[in-house]
Amino acid sequence: MKKILLVLTIAILTLGAVTAVYANENSNSIGFGYGSSMMSQNNSNYTDMIDLMKENGFEDAAKAMENRDYDAMNELMDNLTDDQYNQMIDIMKDNGYRGMSNMMSSVSRQEMQNRHNSMMGRWF
């Protein structure tokens, strides 16, 4: 019984440490962390992201972000194709957002859509 508790404790501590390191790596590589928001207009990443989207064929998404049009953002996310999702990952990776591209690569398009809907208060 003691061995089981010891193994379980080590597993939980290891998972916690890996999660903390991964979160720290991602927040450092994309330029924002706890307490700040990607959607904050005071965040230079926000305006950089809009410019990147405009330059790479995602003008509608950029316009929705600029206008804070959450319904349009939701509509765009709901209709995103696998090819568009992979293109977004490549854009992030090639333009200094490796942490975001790694996170996006680690989940499917559908899972990312679910996360987006959850963050936007639209969990179905």
23, 49: one domain: no
Residue 35 domain-assigned?
Answer: no
24, 46: one domain: no
Range of the domain at 8: 1-30
21, 46: one domain: no
The percent of residues in the chain predicted with pLDDT above 70, rounded, is: 61
Residue 14 domain-assigned?
Answer: yes
Specify the higher pLDDT residue, 34 or 37: 37
36-40: list long-range contacts, CB under 8 Å, 24+ apart. 39/65, 39/68
50, 24: one domain: no
Residue 10 domain-assigned?
Answer: yes
What is the residue type of 18?
V
Residue 36 domain-assigned?
Answer: no
Q: Is the pLDDT of residue 27 over 80?
A: no
Residue 96 domain-assigned?
Answer: yes
Q: Which of 110, 39, 119, 47 is nearest to 80 (CA)?
A: 110
9, 47: one domain: no
- Distance from C-alpha of 123 to C-alpha of 66, rounded to nearest angstrom: 24
- Distance from C-alpha of 12 to C-alpha of 104, rounded to nearest angstrom: 25
30: its two tokens:
């994309």
Please compute the mean of the pLDDT values over residues 60-70 and round it to a whole number: 87
- Distance from C-alpha of 46 to C-alpha of 9, rounded to nearest angstrom: 40
Please compute the mean of the pLDDT values over residues 103-113 and round it to a whole number: 88
Q: Which residue has tokens 């890996």? A: 18
85, 105: one domain: yes
What is the C-alpha R_g of the chain? Answer: 17
pTM of the prediction?
A: 0.59
- State how many domains the chain has: 2
